[in-house]
Chain A
């Protein structure tokens, strides 16, 4: 009963609001424009922020799903005296494979920036020296040819597997398998091409070239000290394994090997993909919050515009307010009339802003190849938020209108 009365009252006020907004069409459009730009900015900020989140998640998923990364770096998570140099070796990797439960594959690696050349061209790329386990752990697939094999690693064969970007840069559309590529002047035979993974966060995942671990050890210029030192180790786990447990086991095994006592800094660092996800979620969350906060300023300015124009509107329509009071409008009827008018104005601006944001986001996705999703909650939320802006900034003018004295208002010109 009282709800239907409220709805009926709102409908009447929406009608009055639309008439009033039509009366000053140009002014209404300009005022709505302020809110439109504000909503556009906020919705885009939310979309780009969520896009960053999605993008980072994709990057991490492309690393490999259930995996730990071991770096030869002193663990900086704890305070205390630091052994300056980190340590991680192929023997550590073999021990991990033997002693840590749930390990499915290992990918010991060396990394270096390398120059690839054929007689016609020369490109720089990320060289990764790997074992066959690399493909399993990182979910890498072969498009054409074959992956680095055990035999290649044992014989330190001069073979190379190219990422899509490198293959295209060097060979265009023709098949690189069987061709010869020079790595810093030494000839390598191309045995395979990786399936494209695409790019994430501006990082081209296909700008890589894989060589056998042993070959890389001979050819890559690295700063590693020992003869079997590693730059990086990926440890793939069974999907059923809990990564926190896996990390605990892994750290225990390595601490035993390096005889790290309680309170000492360990010469290696272990991170799981789960931790990366959490970390990046925090970072992108902050990033998104900052973006939205900056964008909100324009919405605030739009809101001030609403308040300004509503104050003008109340002044201009003082006589109408007096008349309505004489005809029986209570203070709250007048207040609601102006609140609804401000809310309608804001919601029109909000709707236009949302539509523009959707167009801008889809253009952005296509041009920048960066996801900018606008979900239904964001869409509905932005419209409701516009209404709240209207009620907030329309509140003062509306209350001022409702406090007018009927005779004073009627007398005004």
Chain B
């Protein structure tokens, strides 16, 4: 077990953008390691590079320089098809705006990643229905997003993120579009999932939300300026 590589390891990670001849260092040399089972909150002001970092570890974008090892594989060396496979099998995304497909039932929304995993229609349905039931939405399988509350929509999105049994759950401001009671409910759900052994990486600018995590990483100007355990952690009641 000791030879197991870290789940995620960034080494001198750099991402530069070119804006009309001016180079912007969105991520300017980040080294960071995340072990299996961690619950990390990535914080920082807008423009601090936290979202760019999130896109890099989500295999949505490639670094300009440096290494980014996910489960021992360097993402920088992969083709676009291989990156798609990584996003499909190893990463589960949860977005601020839920990003559910309109006019598509909850169960079909959850089953979408399984289409790209190549599962048969019956397998897709079964697994999607099971995940939705685990999120307490077993009686909402046929509902379209328009007929669900914000909290329910986000839980459908979480079920979709988890349906391929990924290594990491990446949540980008998951409570940004929710009221405080629902936010708390969703954060407790993340805590429960983390307790079940799922690695959670959360991007947020709200200190309250970050309090649910076990480790807090603060970004400023493309660099990590703080990386410490959360002391007075809020837990599921």
Contact = CB atoms under 8 A, between A and B. Distances in A.
B103 A326 contact: no
Given A326-B60, A327-B160, A407-B60, A22 B103 contact: yes
B82 to A, nearest CB: 9
Nearest to A12: B115
Q: Which 8 A-B pairs have the closest CB atoms?
A: A328-B88, A328-B116, A330-B84, A327-B113, A406-B60, A323-B99, A407-B60, A330-B81
Interface string B120-144: 1100000000000000000000000
B116 A327 contact: yes
A12 B117 CA distance: 13
A5 interface: yes
A12 to B, nearest CB: 5
A257 B121 CA distance: 85
B129 to A, nearest CB: 17
B87 interface: yes
Interface residues of A, number: 24
A81 B87 CA distance: 86
Given A407-B55, A407-B61, A328 B113 contact: yes
A331 B115 CA distance: 14
A12 B164 CA distance: 18
Nearest to A337: B115
Interface string B72-86: 000000001100110
A255 to B, nearest CB: 78
Interface residues on B, range: 20 to 34
Nearest to A333: B116
Interface in A140-188: none
B44 interface: no
A324 B112 CA distance: 8
Interface in B59-75: 60-61
A293 interface: no
B120 A8 contact: yes
A5 B121 CA distance: 11
Given A23-B103, A406-B60, A407-B55, A326 B115 contact: no
A24 B84 CA distance: 29
Nearest to B104: A19
B88 A327 contact: yes
Contacts of B88: 327-328
B145 interface: no
Contacts of A19: 103-104
Contact of B93 (A327, A332, A405): A327
Contacts of A219: none
A348 interface: no
A329 B116 contact: yes
Interface string A310-332: 00000000011001111111111
A98 B101 CA distance: 89
Interface in A48-78: none
A323 B61 CA distance: 14
Contacts of A12: 115, 121
A356 interface: no
Contacts of B102: 23
A328 B89 contact: yes
B88 to A, nearest CB: 2
A300 interface: no
A331 B81 contact: yes
A332 B118 CA distance: 13
B53 to A, nearest CB: 12
B51 to A, nearest CB: 9
A327 B60 contact: no
Contacts of B164: 328
A251 interface: no
A328 B58 contact: no
B115 A325 contact: no
B60 A410 contact: yes
Nearest to A330: B84
B155 to A, nearest CB: 17
B85 to A, nearest CB: 7
